[in-house]
Amino acid sequence: MKYLLAALLGAGLGIGLSGAAYAVDVNVNVGTPAPVMVQQPVVVQQGWHGDRYWDGHRYWERREWEERHHHHERGHCPPGHAKKGEC
């Protein structure tokens, strides 16, 4: 009988505590989320930008580009020059 009473007491306590667990309300306020900034990627087009030439991989100084691309002197107009009326 002693064990039956202890078992019933334990079962009642377990049922009572399980109901209390459902009644707990935890409210955590983390504030307003930070705004998300989305920027368009910067695309640098091939051609002359000021006095430097962008070939898609690196910038060239004008003198350096003309030395490397000597066909410029034979009547070839580099990309971007014709659009600006420089040839």
- The pTM of the full predicted model, rounded to 2 decimals, is 0.34
Half-sphere exposure at residue 26, Cβ-oriented, CA atoms within 13 angstroms: 4
**Residues whose CB falls within 8 Å of the CB of residue 84, separated by 6 or more in sequence, listed in order:** 48
Going residue by residue through the chain, which has 87 residues, state the pLDDT in tens, using 9 for 90 and above.
677 767 767 776 667 666 555 667 778 888 888 888 888 887 888 888 888 888 888 888 988 887 877 654 556 676 777 777 676
Burial of 55 (0-12, 13-18, 19+ CB in 10 A): middle
Cross-strand partners of 73: none
